[in-house]
Amino acid sequence: MPKPSSREALLDAGLSVMFKQGYAASGLRDIVAAASTPLGSFSNHFRSKEAFAVEVLERYTTHMRELMAPTLGNKALSPLARIKSYLEMISCKQKDSGWSRGCLVGNLGLETSAHSEELRQHLSAIFVEWRRPFADCLREAQQLGEIDSDFPPEDLADFLISGWQGAMLRMKVDRSPRPLEQFKSMAFATFLKGKQA
């Protein structure tokens, strides 16, 4: 019976290696070396590199849920303040990486969605899951009269997530915070603009 610890070490290593190198450039030898495990241990735990990447994404998604809870889920703040808190927190994390890291879901989506149906479907499901906490904030903002109700909150949430992902892509290309700051400024001056009392 394989040791569970080697499986966890491989997933931790996979998250780190895929963030740095992307999916295609992350060879199994790179991953097992980073995990300090023998090459054969990979096939003991995972049926394929695609299946492994799905589990790496699950690990990343769990981490993102933990980041969303104290920001988007913080009922002590107004709905728009919760969204702003989340975007600011992600901006700080991107600063720590020198504006080079981006989002693993967005990164792998760009790289793999045309070549792996298994990964494409999993990435799509993650975006659907991420829509919910944003839509909840936006729905509440509409109900409180903070923002207009011209669009369904789910559509606004998708628009927000897509725009933010694009801003992170541009951030990585430019190695600059400007796309993130520009996005936040424009978002809160337009569709997230609070209604005047």
pLDDT digits (tens, 9 = 90+) for 90-113: 999 999 999 999 999 999 999 999
Number of H helices, E strands in the chain: 9, 0
d(CA 44, CA 61): 24
8 A C-beta contact, residue 72 and residue 86: yes
CB 10 within 8 A of CB 41: yes
- Written as one letter, the residue type at 58 is E
Q: Would 153 be classed as within a structural domain?
A: yes
**Tokens of residue 96, six digits:** 């720590």
- Whole-prediction pTM: 0.92
Residues of the chain short of pLDDT 70, as ranges, are: 1-4, 196-197
pLDDT at 98: 96
Q: How far, in Å, CA of 15 to CA of 64, rounded?
A: 13
Q: Indicate if 101 and 81 belong to the same structural domain.
A: yes
Q: How far apart are the C-alpha atoms of 132 and 8, rounded to whole Å?
A: 29
Are residues 160 and 89 part of one domain? yes
Residues 33 and 89 in one domain: no
Last residue of a domain, one of 46, 65, 83: 46
pLDDT at 4: 52
For residue 38, being part of any structural domain is answered with: yes
CA dist., res. 93 & res. 36, Å (int): 27
Residues recorded for the chain: 197
CB 168 within 8 A of CB 180: yes
- Domains held by the chain: number: 2
What is the rounded CA–CA span in Å between residue 62 and residue 34? 21
State the pLDDT at residue 143: 96
Instruction: Report the share of the chain in percent with pLDDT over 70.
Output: 96
Helical H segments across the chain, by residue range: 4-21, 28-35, 40-45, 49-68, 79-96, 104-112, 117-143, 153-174, 178-189
CA 176 to each of CA 57, 82, 111, 133: distance values in angstroms, whole numbers, following the listed order: 25, 24, 22, 27
Determine the pLDDT at residue 2.
47
| Residues 113 and 38 grouped into a single domain | no
Range of the domain at 12: 1-46
Shared-domain flag, residues 2 and 40: yes
